[in-house]
Amino acid sequence: MQILCTPPARALRFVLLSPAALALSLALSACGGGSGSDGSATTPPATAASAAMVQETSSNTSVVPAASTEALSEAIDTTAQMAIEAGQASRTFNCAGGGSVQYQVTGPDLALLTNGAFDTGEVYTLTYSACKRAVGRASVSGTLTLTVNNATATHWELATTTSSLIVALPRGSVTLNGASTVTRDIVTNGATTVTTTRWITPNFTVATAFGGRSSTFTFSDVDRTRVVTITGGTVTSTTHSGKCTLSATLPNGSFTVTESTTGIVTFDANGVPTAGIWTYLLPHNTIVVTVGNGVATVTVDWGPDGSIDRTYTFQINDLAAQAG
């Protein structure tokens, strides 16, 4: 992995090669010095984020909120497909892509319970066991309760409660615990369908299992939107926007960070950021991550006082691989 740490103009530039996460942290820690208002090298204040913490915060906050939004969206998509396949108000059956589900729906209009669509007032309770709504889709295990507060053919307003709901994504599994409000809008134009999912919750817990690592994150003040464009049955674009506060205890220490996107950020099919700007507010530091052309440029403002005190450059695949 190539790590480029850029101190102020008067300091030295280091380029180190390291294939391992431990060596990465050591390499980042080697980047010293800071910048005063006149650009001269200064000693970092005691409250300055360490190089290892900057890397760990950047990797997790650029990946984990988006992966969590995707996981919940996939669980809702799976539930909508189960409503189509169930054919009954209560049934245990095999899922089309593998696994099984215990399915139950109740609601104010008995005639609508088996119509294969979400209807206002319905409550869905599902216990999944490695259920895939189609071959190649995410595997879902655990319990989901979904209440339909409002529904039309193109707009849903849902209340969800998840209990140890495990969703297997390309980079690893995400376990969801908590209650949320989710809205979904679907716009179809010819062969193209654009699905917009907005996730809102005051508190939520997410556990990740990525790359052989297991971590738990506490979310608060979540308001995130995911937009997926499908053309001819193929996903052609996935974007995210929004904000949340994320807390975690990780190998390089505990952190609480408020994350927000500047406009829209994009991801590939494996959940790796491909373009966009993220801003992370820590108690004494502001971190800004800018992604483009396979590279993440991370700037750090100690204080913060409006000046850039450190700049780090990562290959985005390497940075994203450290998440979780």
* Structural domain count, the chain: 1
The answer to whether residue 100 is domain-embedded is yes
The Cα–Cα gap between 95 and 78 comes to: 9
Token pair 């390309």 is at which residue?
170
Q: What is the total residue count of the chain?
A: 324
The answer to whether residue 68 is domain-embedded is yes
Highest mean pLDDT out of 100-104, 233-237, 246-250, 302-306 = 100-104
The answer to whether residue 231 is domain-embedded is yes
Q: How far is CA 236 from CA 66, 139, 230, 261, in A?
A: 17, 21, 6, 21
Two tokens, residue 145: 């309760």
The answer to whether residue 246 is domain-embedded is yes
pLDDT at 171: 87
Q: How far is CA 100 from the centre of its chain?
A: 26
pLDDT in tens, 182-218: 999 999 999 999 999 999 999 999 999 998 888 899 9
The answer to whether residue 34 is domain-embedded is no
Confidence of residue 108 (pLDDT cuts 50, 70, 90): very high
pLDDT in tens, 240-298: 999 999 998 776 667 889 999 988 999 998 888 999 999 999 888 999 999 999 999 99
The answer to whether residue 162 is domain-embedded is yes
| Mean predicted confidence (pLDDT) in 53-81 | 92
The answer to whether residue 95 is domain-embedded is yes
pLDDT at 253: 67
Q: How far is CA 198 from CA 71, 168, 242, 262, in A?
A: 13, 20, 9, 17
pLDDT at 267: 92
Confidence of residue 167 (pLDDT cuts 50, 70, 90): very high
Range of the domain at 172: 48-292+299-310
The Cα–Cα gap between 242 and 221 comes to: 10
The answer to whether residue 13 is domain-embedded is no
Q: How far is CA 299 from the centre of its chain?
A: 21
Q: How far is CA 51 from CA 10, 29, 40, in A?
A: 19, 5, 19
